[in-house]
Amino acid sequence: MSALALLADGSTRPPLSQVVVWLNDPQNWTGPNGLLFYLRQHVVYTVVAVVIALVIALPVGLIVGHTGRGAFLVGGLANGLRAVPSLGLVVLLVVWLSPKIHLLQTVPGVVDHHGALPYLIPVEIVLVLLAIPPILTNTYAGVQNVDPAARDAAKGMGMTGAQVIRKVELPCALPLIMSGLRSSVLQVIATATIAAFAPFLGGLGQFIVNGVQTINDPHTGYPAMVGAGLVVAALALVAEVSLIIVQRYVVSRGVSGRYRKTKAGVHAPDGSVVGMELAGV
């Protein structure tokens, strides 16, 4: 019994070794109901939500951080959105909003069912609301933490407010902005499993929804649920590492503090060479 875990109803679920067997079965990865298909849906839902959130939150955070106006509203809005129950809001919007959307188009390559779009829109709304707070608050905080001397120097050079935001505050705030973006992506990846609770949408959460009803089935039950959960975790890890690499290339070395010290020689008046260290960028 040590290899088995008792469920609440007294039945048993398969050992973890069956999860490994399930993940190693090629049939579970391919086809219209395979992991790769649902993984593609999961990634698309995540990317769409994060891009929309970035388009909304980044400009607002930059403007509020630059002007200092509306900071209290931004903080309250971000904290309020974090408290929204994602699954409950999805159910509410699917029941209330979906019948009012009269669009029967499919999403080619992602959702092939006619009539899926009215259910996809509410799910994306919830994911966008979840993705906005980390980007918004980190953008605002990043701009607020810019050295005032750098801002004043830019204004002294005759830069307009928009130029100061674009050429000074945004580059200096990028480390915190990227941190907020990473947090947003991870939260959306983890929460996008709720898409399976809406008709036709699927995603990796489909294995979890189906598995609850057939927990003891070796193909669609417990092994499929745990396997899909592991794939979600792996996707989050890949996204995190990828964004860290992107951050390394988009953030200036001077802002991030990545210096490579090199030796340089300077000729003194008497002909001797005086060594000195330079910070290479």
Please answer whether residues 203 and 192 qualify as being in contact, where contact means their C-beta atoms are separated by less than 8 angstroms.
yes
> In which band, very low, low, confident or very high, does the pLDDT at 270 lie, cut at 50, 70 and 90?
low
pLDDT of residue 218: 67
- Hey, where are the domains in the chain? 5-250
Please answer whether residues 12 and 5 qualify as being in contact, where contact means their C-beta atoms are separated by less than 8 angstroms.
yes
pLDDT of residue 5: 45
The torsion angles phi and psi of 70, rounded to 5 degrees, stand at 80, 15
> In which band, very low, low, confident or very high, does the pLDDT at 139 lie, cut at 50, 70 and 90?
very high
Mean pLDDT for the chain?
A: 81
Q: Using CA atoms, how far apart are residues 20 and 31, in angstroms rounded to an integer?
A: 19
- Stronger pLDDT, 45 or 32, i.e. the higher one: 45
Highest mean pLDDT among 13-17, 50-54, 103-107, 172-176: 50-54
- Stronger pLDDT, 38 or 280, i.e. the higher one: 38
pLDDT of residue 79: 80
pLDDT of residue 235: 95
Please answer whether residues 253 and 259 qualify as being in contact, where contact means their C-beta atoms are separated by less than 8 angstroms.
yes
pLDDT of 281 higher than 50: no
Angle, helix 222-250 to helix 205-213, in steps of 10 degrees: 160
Output DSSP code: residue 191: H
Amino acid at residue number 24: N
> In which band, very low, low, confident or very high, does the pLDDT at 126 lie, cut at 50, 70 and 90?
very high
pLDDT of residue 70: 79
Q: Which CATH superfamily is domain 5-250 in?
A: MetI-like (1.10.3720.10)
Percent of the chain residues topping a pLDDT of 70: 82
pLDDT in tens, 203-234: 898 888 888 877 777 677 788 888 899 999 99
> In which band, very low, low, confident or very high, does the pLDDT at 24 lie, cut at 50, 70 and 90?
confident
Q: Where are the beta strands (DSSP E) in 72-112?
A: none
- Stronger pLDDT, 57 or 263, i.e. the higher one: 57
Please answer whether residues 81 and 132 qualify as being in contact, where contact means their C-beta atoms are separated by less than 8 angstroms.
yes
- Stronger pLDDT, 268 or 171, i.e. the higher one: 171
Average pLDDT over residues 99-123: 78
pLDDT of 4 higher than 60: no
pLDDT of 277 higher than 50: no
**Joined tokens for residue 134:** 């980390």
The whole-model pTM stands at 0.82
pLDDT of 259 higher than 90: no
Amino acid at residue number 96: W
Indicate the pairing of strand 260-267 with strand 5-6: unpaired
pLDDT of 15 higher than 70: no
pLDDT of residue 258: 63
pLDDT of 266 higher than 80: no
- Stronger pLDDT, 236 or 275, i.e. the higher one: 236
The torsion angles phi and psi of 280, rounded to 5 degrees, stand at -85, 140
- Stronger pLDDT, 29 or 107, i.e. the higher one: 29
Average pLDDT over residues 87-97: 90
